A and B are shown apart, each in its own frame.
Chain A
Amino acid sequence: MAQARRKFDADFREGAVRLVRETGKPIAQVARDLGINGRTLGGWVNADKRVRANGAGSLDEDERANGAGSLDEDERANGAGSLDEDERADLARLRRENAEPAIEHDMFQRLHGLRETSTRDGFTGTLARVRGISGLPPFILTLTRCALPLAALAIGLLSLTTARESAVGQYGLIQALPPLYFVSLGILSISFIRAWRSPQPRFPELILGVISLVVLLQAAPGIIESEPRFQVAWLHAGFTDFVARTGRVLPRLDARFNWPSFFTGMAFLDRAGGLPNAIILIRWWPVFINLLYLPPLYMLAKLVLRDAKKAMLAIWLFPFANWIGQDYYSPQSVAYLLYLVLLCVVLGPYGASRKAMIPRLRRKPRDNDTKNPPDDWHPQTPAHALTLLLVMLTLCAAMDTGHQLTPVFALAVVAVLVFFGRTRLLAWPGVMFLLAAGWICYGAITFWIGHISALFGGLGSVGGNYTGDLHLQLHESAAHHQVNDVRLLVVGAISGLAVIGFFAGRKMRVDRTAAAVMMLTPLVTIAGQSYGSEAGLRGFLFSLPGSLCLVAMALTSARMGLRLILTGALTAALIPAFLIARWGNEIFERVLPGEVSAATALYRVAPHGSTIMTLTLPATLEFTDIGQYQYQSGTIDTSASGGITSPARLVPGLARQLGRNPHGGYLIITISQLESARTNSGVPLSWGADVERQLTKSPLFRLIYSNSASKVYQVVGAHDYSQP
């Protein structure tokens, strides 16, 4: 966007040059901090160098063109025009020396985002004076500005304490959220956009805004729901406790134990910290891990967008766009953090060599090419390079041993970045491959042998791999169908804006190739792998860093006014969209206190070795005594010609299955299971009630525990069924 040419006085110019000279910061960064053009500042720095080299000197044509020319006007205004060349140089030097304390003070203020307090910058200065804030000290002014996001955070958190868990319905958590919560999100968004539109970066306010957003969005279920959410998180807590207690893993029990470093790491930490069990961690884990994502995401966005404000916009959108929900207590959540940090190294110190691997993709560097990081970003000494190598090896080793899928995405993205010349680590994909393959051949051999079809079965089933986890089934409820529609809309909006951003970024000083690679490579990579029908979701998660950078390009390519409207509109649309997309399955993904009580009671009575069966998934089980029981999950067949299996036929079948185990068999039915069956398979809730009635009537089962959320039955006459 074309900006009106501004004039800067000698004090300001000198202060800016000193900032570059004394802090060692890049010219571009100082220019951004001060809200001025990088070339203008570069001109001043060059002029200063010449003045210093020659003692003093007049400014040449270029320097005047770059904004330095106003010095002459100032001097003329001060009557210096009648002096000869040497006298003018001396006068300029003396004036600079006398002005130093004032310049330092001025620059100090500007560095703290107080450009408005200066009287030198037309519009913003006038605005600040009109608002009467120019007299405030920097610290107080920063605090004043941060009051709005802090107030929004406080209001939002307080409002959540008034929400009723029982109001969670078919559209999920959004039905339980109080209106004040939406007001707080609105205030937060206005506060962020207000700070973001300021010509001077107001980073404390922006950072606080993003942190508050993450806390408000991710803490909602933790505050509203009685028990930590998501059954799989409970299972992972059980795995962690098993490792913490025994110092062993059980690779034959569960595929996740073949990539156990998340569980071993958490068990290691739990023991050192004296934690009685890992369930304590799972309620606030999403808040914690999402906050940890922000620094590497910001660094990555800044590397791609080359601008701190654009990068802030990208990470502001991340909490909204990340509806996938893989940030619960899981190996994926930590592996994603490692993935982001690895990309920061790959694109940072080793970024942008511009040597595409095939000649026709090579682009001749232009003289004014500023897309590439300055040379001093690259490792300067062998010790520096070794330090970075150790960091990358540690990250990759933890990733390879901690999660099945993340190394695949990481390897693919780094390889394509190498291919397009965005990183100088030409051999690193090979190293990553060897590390991943090494672990598969050594640590994950149990899984490898037994799951060849699972690993390669998805090849060729591209459509199925993308849509498998969206539960687009014929029998799903209308509400669930709408929740899935919202999810698809979010994916479509982000992807559409990213495409626009890619083309809009042509004339920007950004690395849109790197962004496009980070966005597209994960989406292409998962085409060949079903990964338990979650491939599409994972692909979208891994594509987010790149796609959000492209979205930021799209939004910032518009004029300032339109840019603000678009950002505001997108935020306003994403608030409800996120709440539905992310927490839309809460009716069965939450964990009810009654379900935990039932499972605890079951583990108290069931002897080790017995079978525990659930009517259908999900089930809050296996959070204790890992490896001591056999688990089975029933499936509800809705495709049979006769419709859903009738309870009268189902119950004897369940008894037969459970009765085969001489140690005994138990069936647990919970509200979450029945809600899941209704939502995903269209099974009416009355069917669950019929099954329970049939179980109560049947002589094959005995009700041993019951509460409002769960019922536990024990199969009787097990020895009869165990006979051949």
Chain B
Amino acid sequence: MITASHSPPDGEGRQYSLRTQRLAIGALAVAVSAASIALIAASAPWQIRFPFVAAAALFGPAIPALRLRPELSLSQCLVYGVGADVALQMLAGLALVLWHVWAPVAVSLGLLVITLAVGLKLLFDART
């Protein structure tokens, strides 16, 4: 009797799909984080800066970091990643308040650098 179990995934097809996803997510992570870092460094007006920083905060570092794990599907990476990124922003802000070190721009830059690094790692992994 046939059940809804999986057939063993074909290595080549899955690898191709994973490579494509890593390439897309990595490129996006690098683009939004690099743009956000540049806009923060340039003290750009909030009308330009905020959309990029908010997009980068929503997208990274969790989504690209989760895509490093081959076991997770793309939808799992995106859904869990958005949840984890939102939670991470909340906890980062809370930690700064609790430790009386209110330096949100510096810590945000740190998170953006992590996103950038993970994005670059994804791009590197996708190429090799």
* From A27, A261, A374, A376, residue with most partner B Cβ within 10 Å: A261
Q: Does B128 contact A (CB under 8 A)?
A: no
Within 8 A of A (CB), among B67-116: 69, 71-72, 75-76, 78-80, 82-84, 86-94, 96-98, 100-102, 104-105, 107-109
* Bound complex: CA A587 to CA B86 (Å): 33
Q: Does A337 contact B (CB under 8 A)?
A: yes
A24–B14 contact, CB under 8 A? yes
Q: What's the minimum C-beta distance from B116 to chain A, rounded to whole angstroms?
A: 15
Q: Does A395 contact B (CB under 8 A)?
A: yes
B57–A274 contact, CB under 8 A? no
B14–A23 contact, CB under 8 A? yes
* Bound complex: CA A581 to CA B66 (Å): 40
Q: A24-B14, A264-B96 are in contact. Are A387 and B91 (CB under 8 A)?
A: no
B80–A368 contact, CB under 8 A? no
Which chain A residues lie closer than 8 Å to B88 at the CB level?
A: 394, 398
* Bound complex: CA A306 to CA B57 (Å): 32
Which chain B residues lie closer than 8 Å to A443 at the CB level?
A: 98
Q: Which one of B2, B6, B76 contacts A349 once the chains associate, using CB atoms below 8 Å?
A: B76
B86–A27 contact, CB under 8 A? no
Q: A20-B7, A261-B91, A383-B69 are in contact. Are A247 and B102 (CB under 8 A)?
A: yes
Q: Does A166 contact B (CB under 8 A)?
A: no
Q: Does B49 contact A (CB under 8 A)?
A: yes
* From B1, B52, B72, B89, residue with most partner A Cβ within 10 Å: B89
B57–A345 contact, CB under 8 A? no
A296–B92 contact, CB under 8 A? no
- Interface 9-residue window, one of A40-48, A470-478, A525-533: A40-48
Q: Which residue of B lies closest to A509 (CB)?
A: B4
Which chain A residues lie closer than 8 Å to B89 at the CB level?
A: 265, 268-269
Q: Does B50 contact A (CB under 8 A)?
A: yes
* Bound complex: CA A274 to CA B50 (Å): 6
Q: Does A39 contact B (CB under 8 A)?
A: yes
Which chain B residues lie closer than 8 Å to A391 at the CB level?
A: 62, 66, 80, 83-84
Q: Does B40 contact A (CB under 8 A)?
A: yes
Q: Which residue of B lies closest to A340 (CB)?
A: B83
Chain B binding surface, main DSSP class: helix
* Bound complex: CA A20 to CA B83 (Å): 30
Q: What's the minimum C-beta distance from B22 to chain A, rounded to whole angstroms?
A: 16
* Bound complex: CA A323 to CA B86 (Å): 24
Q: Does A616 contact B (CB under 8 A)?
A: no
* From B53, B91, B93, B96, residue with most partner A Cβ within 10 Å: B93
* Bound complex: CA A381 to CA B108 (Å): 32
* Bound complex: CA A25 to CA B6 (Å): 7
Which chain B residues lie closer than 8 Å to A275 at the CB level?
A: 46, 50
A-contact 0/1 string along B1-45, CB 8 Å cutoff: 111111111101110010000000000000000000000100111
Which chain B residues lie closer than 8 Å to A21 at the CB level?
A: 7, 10, 13
Q: Which one of B4, B83, B96 contacts A374 once the chains associate, using CB atoms below 8 Å?
A: B4
* Bound complex: CA A25 to CA B13 (Å): 10
Q: Does A691 contact B (CB under 8 A)?
A: no
* Bound complex: CA A341 to CA B82 (Å): 9
Q: Does A344 contact B (CB under 8 A)?
A: yes
* Bound complex: CA A248 to CA B94 (Å): 10
* Bound complex: CA A263 to CA B97 (Å): 10
Q: A264-B96, A272-B108 are in contact. Are A38 and B2 (CB under 8 A)?
A: yes
Q: Which one of B53, B98, B100 contacts A272 once the chains associate, using CB atoms below 8 Å?
A: B53
Which chain A residues lie closer than 8 Å to B57 at the CB level?
A: 269, 272
A402–B13 contact, CB under 8 A? no
A274–B46 contact, CB under 8 A? yes
Q: A27-B2, A341-B83 are in contact. Are A264 and B13 (CB under 8 A)?
A: no
Q: What's the minimum C-beta distance from B80 to chain A, rounded to whole angstroms?
A: 5
Which chain B residues lie closer than 8 Å to A387 at the CB level?
A: 66, 69, 72
Q: What's the minimum C-beta distance from A20 to chain B, rounded to whole angstroms?
A: 5
Q: Does A643 contact B (CB under 8 A)?
A: no
Q: Does A217 contact B (CB under 8 A)?
A: no
Q: Which one of B6, B51, B62 contacts A26 once the chains associate, using CB atoms below 8 Å?
A: B6
Q: Does A276 contact B (CB under 8 A)?
A: yes
* Bound complex: CA A599 to CA B12 (Å): 65
Tally of chain B residues near chain A (CB < 8 A): 59
* Bound complex: CA A247 to CA B88 (Å): 17
Bin chain A's interface residue count.
35 or more
Q: What's the minimum C-beta distance from B113 to chain A, rounded to whole angstroms?
A: 13
Which chain B residues lie closer than 8 Å to A61 at the CB level?
A: none
Q: Does A103 contact B (CB under 8 A)?
A: no
Q: Which one of B7, B44, B108 contacts A27 once the chains associate, using CB atoms below 8 Å?
A: B7
* From B90, B91, B94, residue with most partner A Cβ within 10 Å: B90
A262–B90 contact, CB under 8 A? yes
B97–A296 contact, CB under 8 A? no
A338–B87 contact, CB under 8 A? yes
Q: Does A214 contact B (CB under 8 A)?
A: no
Which chain B residues lie closer than 8 Å to A395 at the CB level?
A: 83-84, 87
Q: Does A260 contact B (CB under 8 A)?
A: yes
A249–B69 contact, CB under 8 A? no
B108–A268 contact, CB under 8 A? yes
B91–A274 contact, CB under 8 A? no
A43–B50 contact, CB under 8 A? no
* Bound complex: CA A45 to CA B7 (Å): 8
Q: Which residue of B lies closest to A274 (CB)?
A: B46
A273–B90 contact, CB under 8 A? no
B-contact 0/1 string along A224-248, CB 8 Å cutoff: 0000000000000000000110111
Q: What's the minimum C-beta distance from B10 to chain A, rounded to whole angstroms?
A: 5
Q: Which one of B53, B94, B104 contacts A260 once the chains associate, using CB atoms below 8 Å?
A: B94
Q: Does A370 contact B (CB under 8 A)?
A: yes
Which chain B residues lie closer than 8 Å to A266 at the CB level?
A: 93
Q: A23-B13, A271-B104, A341-B82 are in contact. Are A380 and B71 (CB under 8 A)?
A: yes
Which chain A residues lie closer than 8 Å to B93 at the CB level?
A: 243, 261, 263-269
Q: Which residue of B lies closest to A384 (CB)?
A: B71
Q: A22-B10, A273-B49, A344-B79 are in contact. Are A260 and B97 (CB under 8 A)?
A: yes
B-contact 0/1 string along A282-299, CB 8 Å cutoff: 000000000010011001
A367–B1 contact, CB under 8 A? yes
B87–A394 contact, CB under 8 A? yes
22 A-B pairs within 8 Å (CB atoms) are namely: A21-B7, A22-B13, A23-B10, A24-B6, A39-B2, A243-B93, A248-B97, A271-B105, A273-B50, A273-B52, A274-B40, A295-B82, A299-B76, A340-B83, A370-B4, A379-B71, A383-B69, A384-B72, A387-B66, A387-B72, A391-B83, A398-B88
A25-B9, A243-B97, A295-B75 known, 4 other contacts, Cβ within 8 Å: A247-B96, A248-B102, A334-B90, A398-B91
Q: Which residues of A contact B (CB under 8 A)?
A: 20-28, 38-39, 42-43, 45-46, 49, 66, 243-244, 246-249, 260-276, 292, 295-296, 299, 306, 334, 337-338, 340-342, 344-345, 348-349, 367-370, 374-376, 379-381, 383-384, 387-388, 390-391, 394-395, 397-399, 401-402, 443, 509
Q: Which residues of B contact A (CB under 8 A)?
A: 1-10, 12-14, 17, 40, 43-46, 49-54, 57, 62, 66, 69, 71-72, 75-76, 78-80, 82-84, 86-94, 96-98, 100-102, 104-105, 107-109
Top 4 A-B pairs, shortest CB-CB distance: A247-B102, A24-B9, A42-B2, A341-B83
